[in-house]
Structures are given as C-alpha cells and as structure tokens.
Amino acid sequence: MGLKETYVQFQLNRCHKRYEEKRSFLGDAYGAWLLKNEDGAKRRKGGCGKTDILWIDLEQLAKVILYSDKVDMGQVPDGWFAVTLLHGEVRMPSEKWASKFSSVSEFGLIYGDEDMDNGGRFGAWMKPEYSPETFFSFFYFGSIVFLRGDIVKEVLKGRKQKLYADQRILYDFIFSYLEYLERENMKVLHIPEILFTAHTEIPFETENPLKAEVTNPEAYFGYEPDCDEIKKEHAKRMGVDVAFQHIEHAGTTYSVPVYDIKGAPKVSVIIPSKDNPEVLTTCIESFVRETDYKNYEIIVVDNGSTEANRMEIVLLQSRFGFIYVYEPMEFNFSRMCNIGVEKATGDYLLLLNDDMEIIQKDWLRVMLGQAMQKNIGAVGAKLLYPNSDLIQHVGITNLPVGPAHKLLKEHDAKADYYYGRNVLPYDMMGVTAACLLVSAEAYRKVGGLPEDVAISYNDVDLNFSLFEAGYRNVLRPDVVLYHHESLSRGDDRLSDEKWDRLLHEKEHVYERHPSCEGYDPYYSPNLAGYKSKYFCNYLYDHEIRTRFNTLKNFHGPIPEEWHNNALTISWEHLRLERRLELYQEEDAYLIEGWSYVLNMDNSRYERSLILMDEEGNYYSSDVFERYRPDVKKILPEQTNVELAGFDVRLPRALLKPGKYSVALLCKDRCSRQRLYKEWDEIFVVEA
C-alpha cells in the first residue's frame, strides 16, 4: 500500500470511529439522559440514608394479604418496605429523600419511575405526581411501591380479602390502603428518579429512536375489564355509583368508568360565535342530533356578525330554540363566555367552540358524570381533526416553555401513547375551552374566564384557577369530538403582531398564577419541555431552540465541477421558528432535511449549508447532524446513512431581508472532492 493509500485508509478509519461514536450518541437520547442524571450507584441498600427498608416481591405480599388472619403479622415490618411486581433491579432513592421515609413522615405511600433492560436500558416510564383519577384508570404506580408496615396492618384489620391470583390483588389492596391514607390525612409521594429496571424479553432496538417510548406490558395493568369489580367496590366504599364501558383501541380492550348521574342536572351550553353561520349550524345540528342527554340549554353569544349572517343565525334559532345573545364588541372570548354564563340557568356549564362537531351519543353523559365527582374542576374531551384520526387535543400540559397540547397531529388509532394518554381518563393541568365542562358553582367561585386575557390562554387561566382552588381537572379521551380548528380564527404564528400578543398573554397568565409557572404535577420534570411526544428531557444541540448555527462569508462563485448529482438531498422543512419567551429568545429560521452521496461511504463527508443572496454574496453555515434510521431502512444498499439528517437554525435578526438560494456542500474528509447541490425553493426572509 502506497503512502497516499495509507493516508486515505488512516483518514477513513478516523471517519468510521467518529461516525460510530456519533451514531451511538445521537441514537440513544435516553442513554444520554441516564449518563447525565444517574450517579451510577446501584443504591440497593444505601441511598437516602436507609439500610433497614425490606424488599419483598408481590408473591410474598399476596400471602400476607390473603392469609392475614392466619399468618404471623410479625412478619410484616412496622417500618417502610418496598413491594416489587416484576423481576428486575431495584435502586433506593437518592439521599435528599431520606426524611420522607421516616416513621413520622406525612407520606404513607411512595412510588418512583422505572425503565427496562434487555441488553440496554430503554422504555423509561416517567410518572406524574399523585393522580387519583389516573389511578382509577389503571395501576400507574408501576413496578415498585413503598408501603409502611404499620399502615398495612391497620388496613388488613377486618378487611374481607379477595382471592385474586395475580397483580389485581395489589391493585385491590392499594385502593383500601389509599382510603386509609385519605381518612388519616396522609399523602402519597412520587419520586422522579428511576427506582426500578425490569428485566424484560422485549428487544432493545438499537435502530429505534423511539425506544424511550416503549411500554412495558407487564407493568401496565389495571385498565382491563377484569378489574371492574375492584374499582366498583372501591367506588362503593367512597359512596360513588359507577359502571364501566369497554372500548376497543389499537387492538386492545380498555375499561373506562361511567359515573352515575344523580338527578338530572341542567347543562348550559355556551357557544361564542361570529360570522360563522354554516359552521355554527354543523355544531348545533350535530349536538341536537347526537346528544342523548337532554336536559340542556344552548346559549349562542355573538359579538357582531354582519346583518346577513345574523339573520341566518336567527333562522337557526327558530329551528332549535336556543338563546341568542347579540352584543357587538371587539373579540374577547372570555367576555363572550362570561356573558353566556350570566344568562345561564344550568347547574353545569359547557364551553363549546362553534367549530365543534358531535360524533358520539353518550359524550355529554360521560363528561357530566365525571364533573359531578368530588373535587373535580374542568372536564375535557379528546378532539380530533375532522374526518380523521389526527389528534388535536388530549389535554393541556403546563410545560416549562408554557401551556401546550401533547400528541398534536399524532394518529390516534395507531397506538396507545405512553400508558394510555390518548385512551384512559387522566388528571391534567388543564383542558381546552373548545370543549370544557365545569360546575357553575366552581366556575363562579374562581371568577370565570379572565376578561383581561381576551384571546389566548384564557382557558389556561381558568384551569389554573380551578387547580389553585383545590379542584382536579380531568381529560376524558373516551369522549371524542371533531374540532374544525382555525375556521373561526387564524393561526397566531402567521404575524409578528399576533405572536407577540400571544406571548404577552401567556406572560400575563403566569403573573396572575406565579405558583403555576413551570409547574405541572401531572407531567414529570424528567419529560421533554416542549416536544409533542413523551420523550425524556435530554436535548441534543439541534433540539435546543436557543442554540444556533454560525453563518460566515463564503468565497463564491461555486466551481462548475462541484455540481454533482451523486449528492442526493431531501429538503423537508424551511420555516420560521417563533421564540417561546417574550424577552429571552430570538425568532429563527429552521432548515431541515437529509442527504447522502450515492454509492459512497457517507461517514467521509462533512456538510455545510450555503446561502446566496440577491446580490450574489455567498454565506456558509455549519449543520447539526441528526440520527435518521428511517433513511437506512429506505436505502439499505447505501453505506453509513444513519446520520443523514441535518438541521440548521439561524437567528432571524442575522439575515437581512430578501431572497436567498439554498444549497448543500459536502466535503470529503479523505480527499479534495467537493459536492454541491441547490434547492429549487427560494428562501425568503421577511422584513
């Protein structure tokens, strides 16, 4: 081998090493999260200053529960002990939680987060703080629960045991245990640390970037119909009548509660609307046609439709007999709803957008039954985009960057996302006022919708107010409606003025509710701060919105020999990425795509983005590499293309207004070869 060949091979080996390290890092966000957040200690007996916590498995606890009248109760420790449901590795909580495990702690039950291991750790289950409605949906405490022996003994006294032969015995017992805690004013604590790793036969898929979202079917239980009797008996002890309805979703049968409606409370349906008679007609026609709960009144509040549209609404009123309030004024969603409430005579208030379409007969009965339960504030539904299974709303999560909808535009029918988030009733920080049911008493108690928050985030404010008043807001994803979103009003991201107004209103809501800023008890701090899906909160460079690429002058023009069709590019997005904080970030232009060099070892190439302005000036930018296993799947014959993805984020203020051509330049690290290819689309920077 000659000197040149030796040098090329040396460089190629370096490229391969770099590529494998980068691929491993970018392909396992959860692994990177573990390295950052775990100290590496097993903490089996140490940690949190405790060495006397006993560890028993479900089978051992089941014997105590089943034969409490026959076994020596001295076998149950008086102090804390941990129950594990599955085979796996246990970790003690870190030292800062030590006081929570004392004999005089205000807490009577503690649970933590968990994951799985099969040649690599994956499937992180980051849980919410104590969530009663969620626990009634399924056993979300998971694979490890810390209990107190003295309380276990008290709960077992005189308790009629059930002969459940599996995990149901624990679910049944824990309901009684929680009832005791409530009577004694004791609390439940969630520790946001990985305390258990289940040994599983589920394959650790190194090529799957979504492996952090994989559900452990052995730990995920309690939603099945064979748990109905357990829940009914608990509800009966709490003085609640409940039935269960079984729904099929993504090939699995789920059981969800339908609470008995005591009496026939009246529901006042308040629909703000202006100049949308056709949309309003669809809403009211579907409501009257589909709704099987009949004790309601409809109040339409119009803030100034044209005379022609007003006459159409009057004709619609003559068909359906609703109350029509016509009061011309600037659009203020809060004021319009509050006007409707002033006219309302119902025991419960349903805020409903005029662009909603009812598609389910029992929807209002299910929501009303839930709203009538103790300490329940706002109740919401799962909203889909019309004539599709695309999710528009499954609750409001108060992320660190602000209130947001999770699972936006995901296919609902495709999966059970992150332990039933789109299927089972969950406690939530909030639900959208596009379809929100609340008792008139609670609404008036917290002052209704804030009229100084006219357009956006007013429903968030209402949810925050209910939460601070001690109510729990609940999402019922078994109730499904179509939401014809954006028919009433445009997208706030389309103009600087609207986006600034949105950020000002968000800031104002947090000024009104400072305790809620950055806090959501129903969303783990270990989960991502702005992503739509339920990923851990580790962020790569390309995901950090305040991390930008550098832009430098580039010597042009481009030599003709650099133009080469062997460079193949899929340009996916070129969009304006709005800042999320009013004073802390900049708007940026984001360019995304993926590329490869045909029939070459792609680990050799270093990429940069090239921009050319209208005056012929060239600029180059580095790129963020992205892990794209999907590219490997569609191009199995190509070499080293898992890192084909690229992102470029450039501050808006860095680019002068005008038109730019966009291209990608690939530099071969093993030779002087350069490959260059332009995008057909023109990049326009607005003033």
Pair (64, 149) in one structural domain: yes
What CATH number is associated with residue 453? 3.90.550.10
By the 8 A CB rule, do 212 and 527 touch?
no
Pair (597, 502) in one structural domain: no
**Cα separation, 632 vs 79, whole angstroms:** 54
String of DSSP letters for 129-175? S--HHHHHHS-TTTTEEEEEHHHHHHHHTTPPP----STHHHHHHHH
Give the confidence band of 74 by pLDDT, cuts at 50, 70, 90.
low
Tokens of 234: 């608990």
Pair (289, 408) in one structural domain: yes
- 211-220, 221-230, 522-531, 625-634 — which is least confidently predicted? 211-220
- Provide the pLDDT for residue 159: 75
Pair (410, 475) in one structural domain: yes
Pair (200, 282) in one structural domain: no
- Number of residues that this document lists for the chain: 687
Give the confidence band of 209 by pLDDT, cuts at 50, 70, 90.
low
Residue with tokens 């102090």, as numbered in its chain: 79
Instruction: Report pLDDT digits (tens) over 266-310.
Output: 999 999 999 999 999 999 999 999 999 999 999 999 999 999 999
- Residue 557: is the preceding peptide bond cis (ω within 30°)? yes
Instruction: Report pLDDT digits (tens) over 155-194.
Output: 988 777 676 778 999 999 999 999 999 999 999 999 999 9
Residue with tokens 């590795």, as numbered in its chain: 89
By the 8 A CB rule, do 609 and 591 touch?
yes
Contact partners, residue 549, CB within 8 Å, separation at least 6:
609, 621, 622, 623, 624, 648, 649, 650
Instruction: Report pLDDT digits (tens) over 608-620.
Output: 999 999 999 999 9
Is the pLDDT assigned to residue 8 strictly greater than 90? no
Residue with tokens 């202006």, as numbered in its chain: 274
Pair (384, 511) in one structural domain: yes
Cβ-in-10-Å burial (0-12, 13-18, 19+) of 435 comes to buried
Pair (104, 215) in one structural domain: yes
By the 8 A CB rule, do 678 and 562 touch?
no
481 domain-assigned? yes
Tokens of 276: 């949308």
Cα–Cα separations (whole angstroms), residue 321 to 292, 313, 338: 18, 11, 21
Contacts 24+ apart (CB under 8 A), 227-230: 227/168, 227/171, 227/255, 228/255, 230/162, 230/164, 230/168, 230/171, 230/172, 230/175
Contact partners, residue 591, CB within 8 Å, separation at least 6:
571, 573, 574, 609, 647, 648, 650, 662, 683
- Provide the pLDDT for residue 75: 65
Is the pLDDT assigned to residue 195 strictly greater than 60? yes
542 vs 60: which has the higher pLDDT: 542
The phi and psi torsions of 592 (rounded to 5 degrees) equal -130, 150
Q: What is the amino acid identity at position 598?
A: L
Is the pLDDT assigned to residue 203 strictly greater than 80? yes
Mean of the per-residue pLDDT values of the chain:
91
528 domain-assigned? no
Pair (509, 557) in one structural domain: no
By the 8 A CB rule, do 675 and 569 touch?
no
- Provide the pLDDT for residue 72: 56
Task: Kindly report the number of other CB atoms within 10 A of residue 176's CB atom.
Answer: 17
- The arithmetic mean of pLDDT across residues 540-558, rounded, is 93
303 domain-assigned? yes
Task: Kindly report the number of other CB atoms within 10 A of residue 448's CB atom.
Answer: 21
- Domain span holding position 208: 41-219
Tokens of 500: 């600034």
- The arithmetic mean of pLDDT across residues 674-687, rounded, is 91
Pair (209, 280) in one structural domain: no
33 domain-assigned? no
Tokens of 387: 């004539």
By the 8 A CB rule, do 225 and 246 touch?
yes
Cβ-in-10-Å burial (0-12, 13-18, 19+) of 10 comes to exposed
Is the pLDDT assigned to residue 241 strictly greater than 50? yes
Q: Name which of 128, 179, 140, 133 is nearest 371 in CA terms.
A: 133
Pair (410, 501) in one structural domain: yes
Q: Name which of 390, 300, 364 is nearest 337 in CA terms.
A: 300
For 648-670, give the secondary structure using H, E and C.
EEEEHHHCCCEEEEEEEEEEECC
By the 8 A CB rule, do 457 and 509 touch?
yes
What is the CA 650 to chain-centroid distance, rounded?
Answer: 27
159 domain-assigned? yes
Q: Which of 219, 249, 281 is the last residue of a domain?
A: 219
- The arithmetic mean of pLDDT across residues 125-137, rounded, is 98
Is the pLDDT assigned to residue 41 strictly greater than 70? no
What is the CA 597 to chain-centroid distance, rounded?
Answer: 37
Is the pLDDT assigned to residue 223 strictly greater than 90? yes
**Cα separation, 311 vs 167, whole angstroms:** 61
For 308-322, give the secondary structure using H, E and C.
HHHHHHHHHHHHHCC
546 domain-assigned? yes
Pair (495, 552) in one structural domain: no
254 domain-assigned? no
Task: Kindly report the number of other CB atoms within 10 A of residue 100's CB atom.
Answer: 17
Task: Kindly report the number of other CB atoms within 10 A of residue 339's CB atom.
Answer: 19
- The arithmetic mean of pLDDT across residues 235-243, rounded, is 97
Q: Most confidently modeled of 20-34, 310-324, 545-559?
A: 310-324
Pair (490, 546) in one structural domain: no
358: β partners: 481
Instruction: Report pLDDT digits (tens) over 484-511.
Output: 975 334 444 557 788 788 888 889 899 9
Percent of the chain surpassing pLDDT 70 = 94
Count: domains in the chain: 3
Q: Which of 499, 516, 533 is the last residue of a domain?
A: 516
601 domain-assigned? yes
Is the pLDDT assigned to residue 208 strictly greater than 80? no
Cα–Cα separations (whole angstroms), residue 351 to 133, 171, 286, 296, 436: 22, 36, 16, 13, 5
